[in-house]
Structure 1
Amino acid sequence: MPAPYPYGETVRIIRTGASPGRDPRGQPLPGPDESFDVKGCVITPRAETPSVGGDQQQARDTVIVGWTVYAPAGTALRTTDRVRIRGVVCDITGEPGDWGRSPFTGTSGPVQFAADRVTG
């Protein structure tokens, strides 16, 4: 099935694989990363405007904090996934939202998620 946005971008989803066992304290060990590409995504900058008069404003304008991504319908994402966008690794923030099926056209909508740059 072709990507819904012919000029969309490809992002790479990075997912922690199954645990190979447990550490000496009984905690699960992280498995090796698994990854796959999602083609035909629309990527838009996501901005945050500090509160007027708040501590964070300090004569600053809107700050870009990450991206909003619209992935093709049916893209299976987890809140624990990471995503590489334009070479930058980001965390998926919050629950990915499935737009479902349009009552007007019957077509499936995108899966929308927020991606924040990983720092530190």
Structure 2
Amino acid sequence: MFAAGDLETVVRIRPPQRDPFGDPIPGSGGELVLPDCLFAPGPSAEMLNGANQVDVDGTVYAHPGADVTETDRLRIRGEVYEVVGRPRRWGRAGVEIVVRLVTG
């Protein structure tokens, strides 16, 4: 599927759904392994407002039909990234997922 780079195993972390009272619904949410993804690290930015915070962006390229939504998180190389926006679905070419890691 991909022409370059190392294939990564990415883990999708889906938060549990909530009932009308805000309580988690048992059996909803959980983790799903997404094999053979590419991860393209992006730029990072340091917050200059006195905080020790660094934002790191990246992009994951997954197989077509990868079940990822904008409310999920992804574990990549041992770190948990937030999904930024809605994943872009490119038909047979796959799914492009923009992610962000905030530390500090």
TM-score category of the 2 structures, normalised to the smaller one: 0.7 to 0.9
Number of residues of Structure 1 aligned to a counterpart in Structure 2: 94
Q: Structure 1 vs Structure 2: percent identity of aligned residues?
A: 33
CA RMSD of aligned residues (A): 2.7
CA distance in 1, matches of 2:79, 2:99: 10
Larger Rg computed on CA atoms: 1
Q: In proportion to residue count, which structure has more strand?
A: 2
Query: Partner amino acid for 1:73?
Result: P
Unaligned runs of 5+ in 2: 49-53
Unaligned runs of 5+ in 1: 23-27, 50-55, 57-62, 101-107
CA distance in 2, matches of 1:115, 1:68: 6
CA distance in 1, matches of 2:8, 2:94: 14
- The CA deviation at 1:19 is 2.4
Structure with more contact order per residue of length (Cα contacts < 8 Å, sep ≥ 6): 2
- The CA deviation at 1:85 is 0.3
Q: Given the two structures, how large is their TM-score scaled by the length of structure 2?
A: 0.74
Flag the 1:64–1:91 CA change in 2: closer, same or farther, 3 A.
Answer: closer
For residues 8-19 of structure 1, the aligned pairs below 5 Å read 8-19=7-18
- Asked if the contact 2:56–2:102 (Cα under 8 Å) also holds between the matched residues in 1, the reply is no
1:46 matched to 2:42:
yes
- Asked if the contact 1:45–1:64 (Cα under 8 Å) also holds between the matched residues in 2, the reply is no
CA distance in 2, matches of 1:73, 1:40: 11
Q: Given the two structures, how large is their TM-score scaled by the length of structure 1?
A: 0.65
CA distance in 2, matches of 1:114, 1:83: 10
- The CA deviation at 1:96 is 0.2
